Amino acid sequence: FPNRVSSDSLTTPSLEASLNVPQISNYPDFSFVKCFKAICLSSLGATINLPSLIGRKMSSSVQLFRDQKYHELKGQCLQQGRLFEDPEFPASDESLYYDPAVKRKVEWKRPKDLCEDPYLLVDGMSSHDFHQGKLGNCWFVAACSCLALRKSLWQQVIPDYKEQEWDPKSLRKYAGIFRFRFWRFGEWTEVVVDDLLPTENGELIYCHSNVRNEFWSALLEKAYAKLAGSYQALDGGCAAEALVDFTGAVADSLNLAKGKYGEVFFEQMKLFEDLMKVHKRGGFISCSISVSTDSWILRMGLIVGHAYSVTAIRKLHLGDNLQKLFLIRLRNPWGKKEWHGAWSDSSKEWKKISDSERKNLGLTVENDGEFWMTFEDWCKNFTDVDICRTVNTSFFSFQKTWEKEMIYGAWAKHPEPLLNRSGGCFDNRETFLQNPQYLFDVKKAKDKVLVSLQQEDRRKYKKEGKGDNITIGFDILKVEDNRRYRLHKLTVQERVATSPYSNTRSVFLSASLQQGRYVLIPTTYIPGVPTKFILRLYTDVPSKLRELKADRPEMTCWSLLCGYPRRVIQIKVHLAEGLQKQDRSGGADPYVLIKCENQSWRSPVQHNTTSPEFNTQVIFYSKDKDSPVTIQVWNSRLLGDQFLGQAVLAASPGEPREQQRLRLRGRGAGEAAELPGHISVTLLSSHDLAEL
């Protein structure tokens, strides 16, 4: 399965060859076998840092952008006594913009030309370290503010930051080269940049620190611009995109105005609890106010069309603890311009909070761009929220652990309908099933399923005028419990979940699904739009996510010799009623057994009922055009199951396609005796194996 990624496909450096390894990986997917090896080696005396081991990926799996090797390039520069100049992202106009109309005169300077003692980081990283420059990338800077709150995450984005740091005592080891890592389209990608930065009048013109000799934000921005193709390609965007690139999290977008969160208190409180849980579990939140007719004007100090990062969410108790206060803290990437309403820095409301509580909240009465406001005011003033959820896939964890599957895919156009893979959304009923289809199983009686669909980053196509995101989404259909081939007709399949359709880079859905088999169909909104995507699925137990590629059973020499299917038959058993009582309480534990030729399928048992709802659906491929379908009802018992009756259907293509209510009968040839109860079924049959 070359298009499938799982934790077991990661290559692991030999632990046996090195017993003194504090960390052996750098990424969220790490298999139990590898962790078990580490524990065994630890028992032999190895020094293993298990918490840092779990939830991290092999450094050997990191991809190199433009195949540039940091250590090799740095070694060459040191050997030749020169500073690195990046040929893949040169200090020239082509790295600044793709549209000549925005041309500006800049001077590229190294940090050593801007100050006497440059550093990558000064006293670590903080969300107050940096400010947005003369570029419309507040979304990126807001994401950086969130990243700065999690040391374990920014250390992943800036690997070996101490090794990359300037050393004033050993300047000969400095080569003017830096490296950063981003989670790009399912892989961690390392990007190398030089330290030449665009300036005007001796000042950095883009993202910069509020400490003159700190340069991590400017260099990180340059690396991100290199991935996008130019600095101008970062003009305008969504904070969730950058947060996914920083962390590998799954992104979710929410429209506060459409959801009426500012009006309905119950929905507002549900959202507060959800966001507080996201924040506590290491997720990230950013927000903005959509551009309207009064765009770019201040609204109580808030800026329309501007991204803010959420840095804290708190629930407080006032006075006698009977009054609850719901607060949220935001940061403006500009480092100034704050909220002027209730609970702003110098508002009178803070007199209700004790000095100790204010200290715990970290309240600062300064125009530093960070401020508090009530959650109610936040819901009423902001319109759009981007949520990045960190989904825990670590085996060793006190939190809920999810099973993850990830698959690469693509929407591709083809004139032949059976080969076309770009059919558009569900509204395009004639072409919808031409999209890629992915099968997965829900093994538990009911399971929560998280799905993230992400299209490729299109910023690199901005120079060609094709840089806008495509509107994407997906549907989940309940299908036959034994389906193995692609869907071709929307018949009795149940459409159980639909994601929002959005032109953001990724869409997310959380759904609770009943036990059974499902087909997930990712789509573009309009048919015939080709692009690549990755699909991530999280479940409580393994779901065996896989793509459906074949339209019908494969024709082989063996099948020609032994017989190739001549009919496809689809049966759905809806329910039974009036079954004979089997126990003292007056109930039964029935299930159905569906058989055709040498194929059979058994449904789950329905407990303590004589009127069970089975909703079991199967599909058979029959070699004999006259073979019937037998549906038997059984009562599950400890010492041998009990036959309750059956119905036999000819299953010919000419049979009624409407739901049928059939009398249960005994076994045997001819007209068998009637037994208590009826069963309701729907049957479809066709000689065209690619019809259903």
- Residue 383's SS3 state is coil
651 burial class (0-12, 13-18, 19+ CB within 10 angstroms)?
buried
From its phi and psi, is residue 143 left (phi > 0), alpha (psi between -120 and 50) or beta? alpha
Q: Are 126 and 210 within 8 A, CB to CB?
A: no
Is 488 tagged catalytic? Answer: no
Which residue in 332, 381, 392, 469 is the catalytic one? Answer: 332
287 burial via Cβ count (<10 Å: 0-12, 13-18, 19+): buried
Take residue 631 and report the two structure tokens written for it: 């549906």
User: Measuring CA to CA, which residue among 577, 634, 569, 572 is closest to residue 596?
Assistant: 569
Catalytic residue among 138, 238, 388, 425: 138
Beta strands in 319-368 (DSSP E): 323-331
DSSP 640: S
Tokens 């927000």 identify what position? 287
Look at strands 177-184 and 4-5 and give their pairing: unpaired
Q: Is 414 a catalytic residue?
A: no
Q: Which of 156, 165, 122 is nearest to 243 (CA)?
A: 156
Q: Which amino acid is at 260?
A: K
**What residue type is 243 in one-letter code?**
L
Instruction: Name the phi and psi angles at 144, rounded to 5.
Output: -65, -35
Antiparallel, parallel or unpaired: β 187-194 and 177-184: antiparallel
d(CA 497, CA 514) in angstroms, rounded, equals 12
Question: Do 475 and 523 meet the contact criterion of CB atoms below 8 Å apart?
Answer: yes
Other CB atoms within 10 Å distance of the CB of residue 512: 11
Give the C-alpha separation, 626 to 652, whole Å.
Answer: 7
Tokens of 208: 């910069």
Based on the residue annotation, tell me whether 332 is a catalytic residue of this protein. yes
Identity of residue 150: R
Amino acid at 668: G
**Which of 306, 381, 392, 596 is the catalytic position?**
306
Q: Which residue has the tokens 């599909």?
A: 619
- Phi, psi for residue 515 in degrees, rounded to 5: -55, 140
Widest CA span in the chain: 100
| Residues with a known catalytic role | 138, 306, 332
